[in-house]
Amino acid sequence: MSALQYETKEKLSSRLAELEKVYQGYKQRGLKLDMSRGKPEPEQLDLTMGLLDCVNLREGYRTKDGFDTRNYGLFDGIPEMKEIFSGFFEVDESQVIVGGNSSLNLMFDFISMAYSKGILGNPPWSRQKGVKFLCPSPGYDRHFKITEYFGIEMITVNMTAEGPDMEQVEKYAADPLVKGIWCVPIYSNPDGITYSAKTVRRLAALKAAAPDFCIMWDMAYYLHHLEEPGDTLLNLYRESEANGTENRVVMFASTSKISFPGAGVAAMAASPDVIADVRRRLSVQTIGYDKINMLRHVRFFGSYQNMCKHMKLHAAIIRPKFKAVLDTLEKNLAGKGIAEWNRPRGGYFISVNLLDGCAKETVRLLKEAGVEMTPAGATYPYGNDPRDRNIRIAPTFPPISELQVSMELFCVCAEIACIKKMISEAW
C-alpha cells in the first residue's frame, strides 16, 4: 500500500469511514486492557519462586563469613551481593552499594543529596539558581519526574540511533548550571537504543563546565536481551577513568526485572570519592537495607554469570510478545507513511512515532475503547512531547491474546488519528 499522503481526500475519507466502523466494533466489545506499564508477566515471576524460601531455618541465614543477615549491620550490603553487582558493573566491590528493592529510590536519593548537601564538596544545587539537567528524549518518565520534583530545569536532548545527540550534549554541558544527564544506555526506555561505543567515549571525554556534573547511568536493561548475541555496551566508568572524569559516573541497576519488581535488590556503583559521599549519607539515612533479601538472591542465582544465563528464560517468554506487536504494526501500518517504530533487540518497550500531533489523539481513542496506554508525552520532560508523536508500547505484561487485540486496535486508532490530521491540514 502506498503512503497515505499521496492519496486523494476522497480515498482518505472513505478509508476513515471504514476504520471508524471497525473502531465502533471494538468499542462495543467493552474491552479492559492495560498496556501502560513495563512490568513482567506472572510467568516470568514464576521463574524465581525458588528464591522465596531459600533462606530459612534449615538452610540458615548467615553470609559466607558468618554474619547474621537477620540483625543490624552491613548498612551498604552483604559482601556476596556486592560481588554479584561488582560483576555487573565491572568495578571493584568497594565501589558498590547494595540498596533496597528500588534503583529509582537510589537515583532519587542521589539527586536529593546533590540538591540538599552537594556532592564532592560542591555547593548544594538548592543554593544555585537555574540548575539544569539534560534529558535525552524520548526517555524514562520516572527519571524526569525526579528532576522535576526538585525544580531542576530539564532540557530535552534528541535521541539518535547511537544514543543522545552528542552535539547537543556537548553544547549544553558547557554551561556550569547544567549538572548532569539521564541515560538508559542499553535498550533505552522507550526506544530500545543501545549507545554506541563512540557515544560512550564522547560522554567519557565530555567537557562539562560543572564540577559536579553527573551522568545518571541507569543500566536497567543491561541483561535484558531479546536476541542472541545481545547488544554490548562499552563500560563508561573505565572510559571515564581513562579521561580522569570517573567522578561523574553514577551507575544504577536492580533485579526488579530479573527476580521480582516488588521485591528485588537494587545497587549503585561509582568512583571511590562519590561512593564515600553516598556512604556518609546512608550511614545517617538508614540502619541498613534488607540483607535477608540480598542473601536470597545470592543463594538463588549463585553468581553473576548465572544471573546472566537466567535472563534467557525471560527472553523466551517475552520474545513472542515483541514479535506479535511488531508483526501487527508491520501488517497494518507499514508503508503508509504515518508511523515509524524501532525493532528493539532487548529491553521492555517498543516506541512508535506517528505523524506529528497524532499521539495524544491515538491514546485517547484507545482509552475510549478500553485500552490503557502510557499517556502520550510521558516519555518527554514535563510530559510534553513537542511533536506529540511518540507512544510507548509495553508488550511484556498482557497475555498474547490481549496483546493482539490491543495492537490491532492500536493500529486502527493510529490510522484514524493520522488520517483525520491529514484531512484537516492538507485541504
Instruction: State the residues that interact with a second copy by CB under 8 A.
Output: 37, 39-40, 42, 45-46, 49-50, 52-53, 55-57, 61, 68-73, 100-102, 104-105, 108-109, 112, 115-117, 124, 126-127, 142, 145-146, 148-150, 256, 260-263, 281, 284-293
107 or 418: whose CB is closer to a second copy?
Answer: 107
Cβ proximity to a second copy: between 19 and 81 the closer is 81
In whole angstroms, what is the distance from residue 422 CA to residue 418 CA? 6
Q: How far is the CB of 165 from a second copy (least distance, A)?
A: 27
DSSP code per residue over 162-207 = TEE-HHHHHHHHTSTTEEEEEE--SS-TTT-----HHHHHHHHH--
| Sign (positive or negative) of CA dihedral 281, 283, 285, 288 | positive
- Phi/psi-derived region of residue 180, left when phi > 0, alpha when psi is between -120 and 50, beta in every other case: left
Separation of alpha carbons 286 and 278, rounded Å: 12
Q: CA-CA distance, 200 to 162, in Å (whole number)? A: 9
Toward a second copy, which CB reaches closer, 60 or 335?
A: 60
272 prior amide bond cis, ω within 30: no
Q: Which is nearer to a second copy, 288 or 395 (CB)?
A: 288
Least CB distance to a second copy at residue 273 (A): 19
Q: Nearer to a second copy by C-beta: 46 or 227?
A: 46
In whole angstroms, how close is the CB of 120 to a second copy at the nearest point? 17
The three grid cell numbers given for residue 217, joined into one nine-digit string: 547511568
Checking phi first, is residue 187 left (phi over 0); if not, alpha (psi -120 to 50) or beta?
left
CB of 377 to a second copy, least distance (A): 17
- Are 85 and 301 in contact by the 8 Å Cβ rule? The answer is no
Collect all residues with Cβ–Cβ distance below 8 Å to 258 and sequence separation of at least 6.
48, 223, 264, 307, 310, 311, 314
CB-CB contact of 418 with 3 (8 Å): no
Coil, strand or helix at 402: helix
Distances (CA, A) of 167 to 160, 173, 197, 301: 11, 10, 16, 41
Q: Which is nearer to a second copy, 280 or 331 (CB)?
A: 280
CA distance 396 to 411: 18
CB of 285 or CB of 305, closer to a second copy? 285
> Which CB atom, from 27 or from 117, has the smaller least distance to a second copy?
117
The candidate with the shortest Cα–Cα distance to 354, out of 325, 370, 321, 377, is: 377
Nearest approach, Cβ of 352 to a second copy (angstroms)? 22
Whose grid coordinates read 564515600?
276
Beta carbon nearer to a second copy, 106 or 413: 106
Cβ 46 to a second copy shortest distance, Å: 8
C-alpha torsion 401→403→409→411, nearest 10 = -130
Q: Which residues pair with 137 in a beta bridge?
A: 158
Whole-number minimum distance, CB 27 to a second copy, in Å? 27
Cβ 258 to a second copy shortest distance, Å? 12
Q: Which CB atom, from 15 or from 117, has the smaller least distance to a second copy? A: 117
C-alpha cell at 347: 529491553
- Distance of closest approach, residue 112 Cβ to a second copy, in angstroms: 6
Closest residue by Cα to residue 296 from 40, 39, 70, 46: 70
CB of 59 to a second copy, least distance (A): 10
Nearest residue (CB) to a second copy, 214 versus 263:
263
